Amino acid sequence: MQHSIGAHVSDHDHGHVDHEGLKVLGFWIFLVTDCLLFATLFATYAVLHSHTNGGFTGKDFDVPGFIIETFVLLISSFTSGLAVLQMHKGNKKGLIGWLVITLLLGATFVGMEIHEFASMAAEGATLSKSAFLTSFFTLVGTHGLHVTFGIFWMIGLIFQVSRKGITSVTTRKISIISLYWHFLDAVWIFIFTVVYLMGVM
Amino acid sequence: MNTSHFFVTGDPMIYGADVSIVLVTIAIIFYLSYFKKWGWLWREWITTVDHKRIGIMYLLASLLMLFRGGVDAILMRLQLAVPNSHFLASEHYNEIFTTHGTIMILFMAMPFMFALFNMVVPLQIGARDVAYPFLNAVSFWLFFIGAMLFNISFVIGGSASAGWLSYPPLSESQFSPGPGQNFWIWGIQISGIGSLATGINFIVTILKMRTPSMRLRDMPLFTWSVLSSSIAILGAFPILTVSLVMLTIDRLFGGHFFTMDGGGNPMMWVNLIWMWGHPEVYIVVLPAFGVFSEVVANFSKKRIFGYGSMVFSMIAISVVSYFTWVHHFFTMGAGADVNIVFAICTMIIAIPTGVKIFNWIFTMYRGRITVTQPLLWFYAFVPTFLVGGATGVMLAAAPADYQYHNSYFLIAHFHQVLIGGVVFGYLAGLYYWWPKLFGFKLNERLGKWAFWLWQIGFYVCFMPQYALGFMGMTRRIYTYNATMGWDMGWAPLNFISTVGAFLMGIGFIFQAWQIIYSIKHGERDVTGDAWDGRTLEWSIPSPPPVYNFAILPDVKGRDSWWYQKQEMKNGTYQEQPVKYEPIHMPKNSGIPFIMSGFWFVAGFGFTFEWMWMGVVGLIGVVLTLFARSFQYDTDYYISVEEIERTEKALAQKRYASVQRTAN
Ligand code: HEM
Ligand SMILES: [Cu+2]
């Protein structure tokens, strides 16, 4: 067996791959697929947004509501960036602090969205009212579910950081969740423009 | 829901299935308990993260599904063999063609393909595992659970009957109430998520896990085909996921994506599902092309002709396959302009495919050809795929398609490319790499019987169907009357077609026999290089040790193992001193299996529209994800001593059998 394989050039690091870097790369590729997922939802929304079945239309969105939601999410994206900055400085307390603020802002956002959905439903604008509303609730709700999942994930990571400190593994995990968080922010900008702004205009 | 609806009742065939399922389950449980194999099953297989074992499990599952899909095919052909047949009722026929199509594509072709990915790619690129071994196990178990969920619909709740792509409005709750359609949705939803993860896994594996000296342009063509197929998975499967979610929302929550009322648009589903569905057929056929590239080069003892154009044509196919989806519904009425664009894109795909066929033939030209089982399947592939491709171009001519659409001509066409391309390709791969994974070859004589039965059966079965299409027989009809049958001539052709289906069925039985026979009597291979191969997988023992390569191989260009053997033969090879280093490996984990169990709970709950159960399942899934996130102790090192011991034992085993054959 030994002679069947060529020699081993040992100027690289034993051929051991950088596992943390590998995981970040995989997450980027996952985000590509998530992008396509949202793209499909946007495309359906574009096809169906005028199929209002004589009910609730884009003109009826609650303008101050969605503008505040947008600000809350944008600020949370900023604070998640600050968390990463603290992590790179090696400041565990700062990292955890900013993460907590980020997830509180995220929770506020989700809370406002639930409130928006509930008040629409109370007016009779439910998912089963029209194709427009089905596609609206699905698109915006999918984003909301992503944020909700991110909140729980972040809670899990806060525990891990507080236990393990800032290691190469936790650094990778925090980088990945902040990537995820920024991504959700970017998707929201599209929702804000395509769904809400173009709706009320 | 009372139990009389829960269990499917009333059909003697299904009672038969109930009995056999119970008996087989008892037999398996008895066997495992009697021989105390539960621990072994759990440690060695269920929790494994080794790509080779995962590949073997995919392979087993896909062969089982080929059997199930094949039985469905035979049942359908029996029903259609003579006019006015009462063998299957119309609803039962609908269920069977839906199940057959879904199983063959999603639970036979896909896992067979993933079996080959797993069995071969890391070995071909000199890697010790895939990029994400844990995720790889998750993918397998998601596929497995999805397939099981889909299959139990047979005896519990009832099967889907709206066709393998379940067009609305038929697949909406108004027209297909009950769990059958939900089984279809959740079965492929769960396994689809697994497929997506596999796509990501293999892209990263191929880009990042190659042995450091292997450049992209040194990669074997099978690996290139896996890369292009995985990229297509990345683009296509999210669309499937979303489409299934939308259909679920329509069915479970009264949404209006695809309904006839409330502003819904059923044609939107048809567009979305084919935006996934068309790339999907290229996803499954590209790796078959990859297999043929390896097989042809190997058994011609030549390097592949036109390597660059092979790579380019595969990438071209995976890109252009995104711009052809409308050819599945030219009759929708999108208008001549739209149809023309998609017709031309479809025809363009024939060009890179043709290039590949020429390249294979040029590779064989003046080669030293040995006709082995893998090469036989390639010989069968060429004419079959050629005719299938030609009838595909006929279908792509939009105005003419108004005649062929949804006729038996179409059925004949797509079976010709799916069987001639995908199945023949994967079988070639199975015969070719079997000795690598198991250490023995599959018996040649039985294989030839199987081969000829498949070939003759194929042409006898599907050629008459082209004619039937021209004679006006449409797909998905469960019976035809005597006027059609005798006066219009459908009956004789249908009967012949059924005979062909049986021949293929017998061919499959020969293959099952061949495998069982060869486990005992197959020609053992101790060299690790059963076919005098060219690529890295043949440089290590068969079956390979857990870590594949004790030392990461040093590659000097394409077909490196072949040239190294040349050097070794003429004495110019410079042997380097071996120095082992500890090998970093992932630990086994039970989480993928448990997580899939929760997916099963979720899928089952949503299928029966028991929301609480669905939600419980999903919460379970999230909890297992958390459990994994909190695990830090996920890897271990294989020590140098252990590597030395393993390698010595492997070398001794080889030496001993060389001695034995010499005597
Ligand atoms: C092994 C021999 C096979 C036979 C004899 C066979 C036979 C059939 C028959 C009789 C139908 C139904 C036609 C109709 O009534 O409309 C059918 C449909 C279909 N088959 Fe096969 N088949 C075989 C293998 C395969 C394979 C290997 C695949 C895919 C990899 C496949 C994919 C499909 C699909 C997608 C459909 C359409 C189902 C639908 O209409 O919803 N078949 N096949
Ligand atoms: Cu197509």
Q: Which residue of B107, B410, B411 sits with most ligand 1 atoms within 8 Å of its CB, as the best mutation to test the pocket?
A: B411
Instruction: State how far the Cα of B468 lies from the Cα of B409, in Å rounded to an integer.
Output: 7
Among left, alpha and beta (phi > 0; psi -120 to 50; other), residue B23 is alpha
pLDDT for the residue numbered B656 = 72
A41–B250 C-beta distance less than 8 A = no
Element containing residue B637 per DSSP (H, E): strand B635-638
Residue holding tokens 């005798």?
B486
pLDDT for the residue numbered A4 = 36
Q: How confident is the model at residue A7 (pLDDT cuts 50, 70, 90)?
A: very low
Question: Which of B230, B229, B207, B231 lies closest to B219 in space, CA to CA?
Answer: B207
**Between these two residues, B161 and B572, which has the higher pLDDT value?**
B161
Average pLDDT over residues B618-623: 97
DSSP H helical ranges for B522-574: 560-569
Give me the residue from B239, B554, B651 closest to A40, CB to CB: B239
Contact B608, B621 (CB under 8 A): no
Q: Does residue A71 surpass a pLDDT of 60?
A: yes
Q: Does residue A83 surpass a pLDDT of 80?
A: yes
Average pLDDT over residues A55-72: 93
Structure tokens at B94: 């609908």
Mean pLDDT of chain B: 93
Cβ atoms within 10 A of the Cβ of A21, count?
Answer: 12
Q: Which residue on chain B is closest to A135 by alpha carbon? A: B257
Query: Is the CB of residue A51 less than 8 Å away from at least one CB of chain B?
Result: yes
Inter-axis angle of helices B408-417 and B444-470, nearest 10: 150
Q: How confident is the model at residue B658 (pLDDT cuts 50, 70, 90)?
A: low
ipTM entry = 0.93
Query: What's the half-sphere exposure (Cβ side, CA atoms, 13 Å) at B273?
Result: 21
Strand partners, B584: B637
Question: Which of A200, A152, A196, A186 lies closest to A38 in space, CA to CA?
Answer: A186
Q: How confident is the model at residue B661 (pLDDT cuts 50, 70, 90)?
A: low
Q: What DSSP assignment string belongs to B140-200?
A: HHHHHHHHHHHHHTTTBT----STTTT-TTTTSTTTS-SHHHHHHHHHHHHHHHHHHHHHH
Structure tokens at A54: 């004589």
Contact A158, A54 (CB under 8 A): no
**φ/ψ (deg, to 5) at B611:** -55, -40
Instruction: State how far the Cα of B444 lies from the Cα of B439, in Å rounded to an integer.
Output: 15
Structure tokens at A27: 């997450």
Average pLDDT over residues B316-323: 92
pLDDT one-digit tens code per residue, B510-526: 999 999 999 999 999 88
Nearest atom (ligand 1) to Cα of B77? 10
Contact A102, A154 (CB under 8 A): yes
Instruction: State how far the Cα of B501 lies from the Cα of B462, in Å rounded to an integer.
Output: 9
Contact B438, B542 (CB under 8 A): yes
**Between these two residues, A17 and B621, which has the higher pLDDT value?**
B621
Q: Does residue B501 surpass a pLDDT of 90?
A: yes
Q: Does residue A16 surpass a pLDDT of 80?
A: no
Nearest atom (ligand 1) to Cα of B66? 27
pLDDT for the residue numbered B660 = 60
Instruction: State how far the Cα of A116 lies from the Cα of A140, in Å rounded to an integer.
Output: 11
Ligand having the closest approach to the CA of B328: 2
Element containing residue A101 per DSSP (H, E): helix A92-122
Suggest the residue from A3, A8, A17, A167 to mutate for an interface test with chain B (most B CBs closer than 10 A): A8
Instruction: Specify the residue with its C-alpha closest to ligand 1, atom 17.
Output: B97
Q: Does residue A10 surpass a pLDDT of 50?
A: no
From B466's Cα to the closest Cα of chain A, the distance in A is 36
B632–A26 C-beta distance less than 8 A = no
Q: How far is the CA of B105 from the centre of ligand 1 (A)?
A: 9
pLDDT for the residue numbered A13 = 42
Q: How confident is the model at residue B653 (pLDDT cuts 50, 70, 90)?
A: confident
Instruction: Specify the residue with its C-alpha closest to ligand 1, atom 19.
Output: B101
Contact B74, B497 (CB under 8 A): no
Q: Does residue B562 surpass a pLDDT of 80?
A: yes
Instruction: State how far the Cα of B220 lies from the Cα of B125, in Å rounded to an integer.
Output: 8
**Between these two residues, B654 and B115, which has the higher pLDDT value?**
B115
| Residue B421 CB contacts under 8 Å (≥ 6 apart), including other chains | B285, B288, B381, B384, B385, B388
Contact B432, B531 (CB under 8 A): yes
Query: Is the CB of residue B246 less than 8 Å away from at least one CB of chain A?
Result: yes
Q: Does residue A8 surpass a pLDDT of 70?
A: no
pLDDT one-digit tens code per residue, B378-397: 999 999 999 999 999 999 99
Length of chain B: 663
Instruction: State how far the Cα of B192 lies from the Cα of B106, in Å rounded to an integer.
Output: 8
Query: Is the CB of residue B266 less than 8 Å away from at least one CB of chain A?
Result: no
What DSSP character marks residue B224?
H
pLDDT for the residue numbered B652 = 86
Give the three-state DSSP class for B58: helix
β-pair type (B635-638, B583-586): antiparallel
pTM for the model stands at 0.94
Give me the residue from B200, B255, B579 closest to A8, CB to CB: B579
**φ/ψ (deg, to 5) at B638:** -90, 125
Cβ atoms within 10 A of the Cβ of B548, count?
Answer: 22
Q: Does residue B172 surpass a pLDDT of 50?
A: yes
Contact B501, B457 (CB under 8 A): yes
Instruction: Specify the residue with its C-alpha closest to ligand 1, atom 3.
Output: B73
Contact A144, B251 (CB under 8 A): no
pLDDT for the residue numbered B572 = 84
Strand partners, B7: B156
Average pLDDT over residues B122-130: 96
Amino acid at A164: K
Average pLDDT over residues B61-77: 96
Residue holding tokens 């044609």?
B267
Query: Is the CB of residue A9 less than 8 Å away from at least one CB of chain B?
Result: yes
Amino acid at B382: V
Query: Is the CB of residue A28 less than 8 Å away from at least one CB of chain B?
Result: no
pLDDT for the residue numbered B29 = 87
Q: Which range among B23-27, B478-482, B655-659 has the greatest average pLDDT?
A: B478-482
Give the three-state DSSP class for B636: strand
Structure tokens at A141: 């709700």
